[in-house]
Amino acid sequence: MKDKKNIIIIIAVIFALILVIILARVFVFTPSPVIKLATIPEGEHDPAVWGKYYPLQYKSYLKNKEMAPTPTGFGGSVNYQKSTKEPEILMNFQGMPFGKDYSEDRGHPYSLQDLKETKRIGPESPGSCMTCKTANMIDIYKDMGDGYSRVPLMQLFGRIKHPITCANCHDPASMNLRVVVPAFIEAMQKKGIDVKKASREKMRSYVCGQCHSEYYFAPPDKKVVFPWDKGLKAKETYAYYTEKPAGFEQDWLHPVSGVKMLKAQHPDFELWSTGVHAQSAVSCADCHMPYMRKDGRKYSSHWVTSPMKHVESSCLTCHKQSEKWIMERVKTIQNNVWEMQRTAGTTIARAHEVIGKAAKVSGVNKTELEKARELVRKAQWFWDFIAAENSMGFHSPAEALNTLGLSVDFAHQAIAAANRAAKTHY
Which residues from 282-301 bind ligand HEC, rule CB under 6 A?
A: 282, 284-289, 299-300
- Strand-pairing partners, residue 299, are 292
**Closest CB to ligand HEC among residues 368, 389:** 389
Distance CA 56, CA 59 (A): 5
Q: Counting contacts by CB under 6 A, is residue 315 touching ligand HEC?
A: yes
- DSSP letter at 129 equals G
**Closest CB to ligand HEC among residues 166, 262:** 166
Q: Which of 94, 257, 314, 402 binds ligand HEC (CB under 6 A)?
A: 314
Q: Which of 222, 254, 263, 277 binds ligand HEC (CB under 6 A)?
A: 277
Cis peptide before 33 (omega within 30 of 0): no
**Closest CB to ligand HEC among residues 278, 416:** 278
Which residues inside 150-189 make contact with ligand HEC, applying CB under 6 A? Answer: 164-166, 168-170, 175, 177
The SS3 of residue 218 is strand
Helices (H) and strands (E) in the chain, counts: 18, 6
Which residues inside 199-258 make contact with ligand HEC, applying CB under 6 A? Answer: 200, 204-205, 207-212
**Closest CB to ligand HEC among residues 290, 345:** 290
Q: Which of 91, 262, 326, 372 binds ligand HEC (CB under 6 A)?
A: 326
Q: What's the closest the beta carbon of residue 233 comes to ligand HEC, in angstroms?
A: 14
Which residues inside 51-70 make contact with ligand HEC, applying CB under 6 A? Answer: 51, 54, 57-58, 61, 70
Distance CA 315, CA 327 (A): 10
What's the Cα-to-Cα distance from 73 to each of 200, 330, 392, 405, rounded to whole Å?
33, 11, 10, 23
Distance CA 266, CA 212 (A): 6
Distance CA 303, CA 59 (A): 9
Q: Which of 172, 227, 275, 393 binds ligand HEC (CB under 6 A)?
A: 275
Which residues inside 90-119 make contact with ligand HEC, applying CB under 6 A? Answer: 105-108, 110-111, 114
Distance, CA of 245 to chain centre: 29
Under 8 Å CB-to-CB from 9, ≥6 apart: which residues?
Answer: none
**Closest CB to ligand HEC among residues 265, 347:** 265
Q: Counting contacts by CB under 6 A, is residue 401 touching ligand HEC?
A: no
User: Residue 300: CA atoms inside 13 Å, Cβ hemisphere, count?
Assistant: 11
Q: What's the closest the beta carbon of residue 400 comes to ligand HEC, in angstroms?
A: 10
